[in-house]
Structure 1
Amino acid sequence: MTRTAPSSPLHIGRRPLLMATALGWAASRAASAAPAAAPCHPASDWATFAARHIQRDGRVIDFHTPQQQSTSEGQSYSLFFALVHNDKPTFARVLAWTEANLAQGSLATDLPAWQWGKKADGGWGVLDANAASDADLWIAYALMEAGRLWNEPRYAKLGRSLLELVVRDEVVALPGLGRMLLPWPASVASGPLWRLNPSYMPLQLLRYFQQADPRGPWREVSDNTLRMLDAVAPKGFAPDWCAWSQTANAFVADPEKGAVGSYDAIRVYLWAGMLSPRAPERKALLQRLNGPRQLLAERHPMPESVDTATGAGRGTGPAGFGGALLPYLKAQELPEALATESARLPGGRAESSSSAAPTPPLPYYEQVLAVFGQAWLDGRYEFDRDGQLQTSWRLLCRSTRAA
């Protein structure tokens, strides 16, 4: 995404849910004397994304931008997806490119620049050196969990070092609120109005960092994130941006973007939907973010943008929004809406009939949302109560595993 920086079992789409797969396998095994092999997930969404957007050197490209840009966000998501799919070579390549090109050689000493691409003079390099805190959190998380899951201490150590930089440079005690994660380094931010991005703060990651760094600011940041989401979604819709006013001692509309919720905010529902059922804040958060639920339950489409102050929508959200909403709709127990949104994705039920022409690949960001949502729905990963990543590598097809 473009940053605004200072300066019952149900068959869904092209795949059955994990529950349906497991039940079918169990029945087959009971009917046969010979043990059956566990089914696998082809993970074609991840394979398609990697083939289209990840270069051999590990650079993740968004072709739909004039600069053919790469962002720290894109690098961070690809690290996470590679870990989810047990793809060690891709993880290593993406990490190497990120460190070399965005972090001056080391994520242990420098936060990554958020934007890299083609410059006005025709050369290639960093276009905006400011860091984006959401990418920094996802990179740190992917590294720390790769260290645990792959037994690679060097990854865990690097992730912890990066997290320390985040605490040092991007977490600030806001007057009247307390410690909060800024969207960028504190060196380029100032009050009395502090801009914030709700989609930058997945509660899974904040809870995970709280466990990994009990003396750090993460419990306070988590509590303030919940306080923020409760304040800025009066009609059940999250905004792309908001702000903390130390003058009013309250959350207010963003001074530049206003109260609109669109391409950034769609991730807020994605993160909320993927919270563990055992997470104590899940129920209240889903109730607060009930705007999409009400719309889709009444068979209205998710709008492309919403005025979060009034609930009025405009346009129709693209297919990638449906991918982001899959976990949310599962958590909100809306099977019909879940089936409808899944069918909108490439390869979904809508194009499975012989009369339907195959749809072209989704644009970069929409495809990211779809990989997140579909992989979770397929049971390839989940987050536990404390945000730890739970993978299902044994269910991955051999062809999608790392060599």
Structure 2
Amino acid sequence: MERLGKHRPLKMGRSGLSGLTTLRSFIVLGVTLMACLQGGCRAEQPWPLWESYARSAFDSQGRIVDHSAGDRTTSEGQAYGMFFALVANDRARFDKLVGWTQDNLAGGDLAARLPAWSWGKAPDGGWKALDQNPASDADLWMAYSLLEAGRLWHDPRYERLGTAMASRIAQREVALVSVGTTILPGPQGFHPDAATWILNPSYLPPSVLSYLATTFPRGPWGAVLASLPVVLTQGAGGGFAMDWVAAGGALSPMASTTEQRAGERSGPAAGSYDAIRVYLWLGIADPETPGVREALAGLAGMAAYMKRHATPPRRVDEAGAVVEADGPVGFSAAIIPYLHANNMKAEEKVQIDRMAAMKNPASGLYGADGLYYDQNLALFADGWLEQRFRFDRQGRLKVKWR
């Protein structure tokens, strides 16, 4: 396609064909620009990490495949994939992700049913939903991505679908617990008795919650956002975020069990693979987002640790003592925005350098094995570092291609 400034001056001969050709070029250009405004064009500068990840994990049907876990697919993976596709202005993959998720995780209707969290090969050899219980972190990111896709690509279908999902999350996954209104990890299994609720702090991304509070002011989202710093910090262990916390009276770290999410490692209370996302969500949020500054101040254990160590810990106990050091490359990616938010420039650079050193030039992914979870954490960090996306105070998405 010719650029606007490249057209030659209009020359009209006896037939006027030259002028007609130029006029047609302007018409084609206008139609093409309109299509781009409606989300029909790919980004001018492709996102290399997203393309590498898609080659590895995105199948032709539209599902994200976790090769490290028996080729299963989770609603989390689908939700993150939608967000990354939106950031990359990758409408084709976004559409496929939504279609596969709706058909296989939501019984054909995401507006009426929250997606099952796990899909894969069953003991009988069939491929199907393995656990119908939704996961609220995936539901939140999915609803958010649909709503913002509708806005940025001018597609009311996605706005309607995101609105329906947000309403269903509010009905099924929001609860009033001892410390306020918050998000349960799923509709079932997280309220074992009348006085106890089980919470996962990493299921509470402040940018998403601020967006929902602004978009749906009559919903419960403002109250959820108000309780955010309490949930993140009261349940912390020695200034570190925890994977799971119990809300009885006050909050306290709790052991992870296989009953919480099938396939998760059981063990004592700790901050590890779930909790690492708490630092990521706080770091990529606009610092003026309600609750972010308070949460950063209450989770200073990781900042203090990183002043003395080159790698983030893989696992800390409920007192903040390091049980396993040397977290994987995805952990380094996750804390880069957190270190930036704490004005720790030297420590931030160490983690950026570690990521660069651990990038596999053959696959374009991070780590020798290109593990699913590491890549998702890295995609959030990489997109943020390259300013492919930002959130404003209300959680609205600002993307490079706009």
Instruction: Give TM-score scaled by structure 1 length.
Output: 0.81
Tell me if 1:219 matches 2:238: no
Tell me if 1:371 matches 2:379: yes
8 Å Cα contact 2:240/2:300 also seen in 1: yes
In the alignment, residue 337 of structure 1 is paired with which amino acid?
Answer: E
In the alignment, residue 269 of structure 1 is paired with which amino acid?
Answer: Y
Tell me if 1:178 matches 2:180: yes
Larger-gyration structure (1/2): 2
8 Å Cα contact 1:237/1:289 also seen in 2: yes
Match of 1:267 in 2: 277
Q: Distance in 2 between matches of 1:288 and 1:178?
A: 18
Tell me if 1:159 matches 2:162: yes
- How big is the shift at 1:212? 1.0
Q: Distance in 1 between matches of 2:98 and 2:76?
A: 12
Q: Which runs of 5+ in 2 are unaligned?
A: 1-42, 257-266
8 Å Cα contact 1:70/1:117 also seen in 2: yes
Tell me if 1:302 matches 2:309: no
Secondary structure, aligned partner of 1:243: strand
8 Å Cα contact 1:259/1:309 also seen in 2: no
In the alignment, residue 59 of structure 1 is paired with which amino acid?
Answer: R
The aligned runs of 1:3-402 (5 Å cut-off) are 42-66=46-70, 68-174=71-177, 176-186=178-188, 189-191=191-193, 192-245=195-248, 249-256=249-256, 257-345=267-355, 348-349=356-357, 360-393=368-401
Secondary structure, aligned partner of 1:76: helix
How many residues were matched structurally? Answer: 345
Deviations 1:301-350 (A, max 9, x none): 211100132433423100111111111122122222222212222xx156
- How big is the shift at 1:359? 5.5
Deviations 1:264-285 (A, max 9, x none): 0000000010111332433222
In the alignment, residue 281 of structure 1 is paired with which amino acid?
Answer: G
Q: Distance in 2 between matches of 1:350 and 1:61?
A: 22
Q: Distance in 1 between matches of 2:81 and 2:89?
A: 12
Instruction: Give TM-score scaled by structure 2 length.
Output: 0.81
Secondary structure, aligned partner of 1:298: coil
8 Å Cα contact 2:329/2:367 also seen in 1: no
- How big is the shift at 1:230? 2.0
Higher relative contact order (CA 8 A, sep 6+): 1
- How big is the shift at 1:119? 0.8
Q: Distance in 2 between matches of 1:111 and 1:187?
A: 16
Q: Which runs of 5+ in 1 are unaligned?
A: 1-38, 395-403
Match of 1:34 in 2: none
8 Å Cα contact 1:171/1:179 also seen in 2: yes
Secondary structure, aligned partner of 1:393: coil
Which aligned runs of 4 or more in structure 1 are off by greater than 4 angstroms? 39-42, 349-353
Q: Distance in 2 between matches of 1:241 and 1:373?
A: 23
Q: Distance in 2 between matches of 1:115 and 1:351?
A: 29
8 Å Cα contact 1:169/1:187 also seen in 2: no
Percent sequence identity is 41
1:334–1:40 distance in 2 versus 1, CA, 3 Å: farther
1:102–1:280 distance in 2 versus 1, CA, 3 Å: closer
1:88–1:180 distance in 2 versus 1, CA, 3 Å: same
In the alignment, residue 253 of structure 2 is paired with which amino acid?
Answer: A
